[in-house]
A = this chain, B = another copy of it.
């Protein structure tokens, strides 16, 4: 019989840990003195403690370990939980690697440019889009298309966020296949030429651009380079979300905020 401190030293575990495992029922002491409350452990309990530590080392949480320690656990079930754990661990490795790539990329970019590349991959929610699609002479003309949408919706779109979607895959100097509209929380009845459709929840790589629209092409380039380098692939047409515009709209205002988004999917 060992006192809790002796027992803790045998397997390099703290006393706190043993008391916690007692409380959770993972490793009740062999005997508890009813008078003093002192816990006493027997050497026959070392294998159980060791097993707990091994399972913890494999990444199981204490609740799962409790289940794994129950008597009569069929081997098949242990195998199943380990296989599950393996999948989780693979995902964890992949996630940590991706984060490392992002850190390395940020550091490399910082060598060239004193500003951080502030790009985020986020999973949006599904939203509704009331929009009109047309071929327009150039990217700047999307403003008029947006104006059409606001004119058609009137007060119903008073506070909605304007957005543009570029359906062309590559950069075009003319005849741009553009869609302009507003984001909504719920579907809306609209009349031609407007359409209302649901934008599915999708992962997008987003860059928040500040200032003049003239700098947008460079931002698109940096964003698409980042996507490639960070382990993603472009999976849909680019979007521009106009988070802050002034009226009347100018091409050049330092306070403008435009979020450029590319739907993406993982390559690694």
Contact flags A211-249 to B (C-beta < 8 A → 1, else 0): 000000000000000000000000000000001100000
Whether the pair A107, B82 counts as a contact (CB closer than 8 A) is: yes
Surface stretch bound by B, among A93-101, A134-142, A149-157, A186-194? A93-101
> Which residues of chain B have C-beta atoms less than 8 A from A93's C-beta?
93, 96-97, 100
> Which residues of chain B have C-beta atoms less than 8 A from A144's C-beta?
none
Q: Which residue of B lies closest to A11 (CB)?
A: B122
> Which residues of chain B have C-beta atoms less than 8 A from A102's C-beta?
57-58
Surface stretch bound by B, among A15-23, A24-32, A110-118, A167-175? A110-118
Report if A118-B54 is in contact (Cβ < 8 Å); known contacts: A110-B82, A257-B47: yes
Whether the pair A244, B82 counts as a contact (CB closer than 8 A) is: no
By secondary structure, the A interface counts as helix
Report if A116-B46 is in contact (Cβ < 8 Å); known contacts: A58-B103, A89-B103: no
Whether the pair B59, A208 counts as a contact (CB closer than 8 A) is: no
Chain B CB within 8 A of A12 CB: yes
Contact count band on A: 35 or more
Chain B CB within 8 A of A64 CB: no
Chain B CB within 8 A of A92 CB: yes
Chain B CB within 8 A of A63 CB: no
A75 to B83 alpha-carbon distance, docked (Å)? 45
Whether the pair A59, B89 counts as a contact (CB closer than 8 A) is: no
8 Å CB contact of A43 from B11, B103, B244: B244
Q: Which residue of B lies closest to A111 (CB)?
A: B79
Which residues of chain A have a CB within 8 Å of any CB of chain B?
10-12, 43-44, 46-47, 50-51, 53-54, 57-59, 75, 78-79, 82-83, 85-86, 89-90, 92-93, 96-97, 99-100, 102-104, 106-107, 110, 114, 116, 118-125, 161, 208, 210, 243-244, 255, 257
- Some 29 contacts from A to B, beta carbons below 8 A apart, are A10-B243, A11-B122, A12-B122, A12-B124, A43-B244, A43-B257, A44-B255, A46-B244, A47-B208, A47-B210, A47-B257, A50-B118, A51-B116, A53-B120, A54-B116, A54-B120, A57-B99, A57-B102, A58-B99, A58-B106, A82-B103, A82-B106, A82-B107, A82-B110, A83-B107, A92-B96, A93-B96, A93-B97, A93-B100
